[in-house]
Amino acid sequence: MNGFREPMLASLTERRFSSGDWLYERKFDGMRAIAARDGGRPELWSRNGNRLDERFPELVDALEELGGPRFTADGEIVAFDGRVMSFARLQARIHLTGAARIAATGVAVYYYLFDLLSYDGQDMTGLPLRDRKRILRRAFDFRDPLRYSVHRNSDGEAFYEQACERGWEGLIAKRATSRYHPGRSKEWLKFKCVRDQEFVVGGYTDPQGSRAGFGALLVGYYDRGRTLRYAGKVGTGYDERTLRDLRRRMDGLAQDQSPFADPVREKGAHWVRPKLVAQVGFSEWTPDGMLRHPRYRGERIDKPAQDVVRETS
Whole-angstrom Cα distance, residue 71 to residue 80?
27
Q: How far is CA 42 from CA 71, 73, 189, in A?
A: 9, 11, 29
For residue 163, the cross-strand partners are none
The DSSP result for 51-78, as a single string, is B-TTT-HHHHHHHHHHS-SEEEEEEEEE
Residues sharing a CB contact under 8 Å with residue 104, sequence separation 6 or more, in sequence order: none
Report the DSSP pairing between strands 8-12 and 183-192.
Answer: parallel
Q: How far is CA 34 from CA 46, 47, 51, 52, 60, in A?
A: 6, 7, 10, 10, 11
Whole-angstrom Cα distance, residue 215 to residue 150?
41
Q: How far is CA 196 from CA 107, 190, 239, 271, 292, in A?
A: 24, 12, 19, 24, 11
In the annotation, is 186 catalytic?
no
Residues sharing a CB contact under 8 Å with residue 262, sequence separation 6 or more, in sequence order: 220, 229, 230
Catalytic residue among 27, 174, 192, 233: 27
Whole-angstrom Cα distance, residue 49 to residue 89?
23
Q: Which residues are catalytic?
A: 27
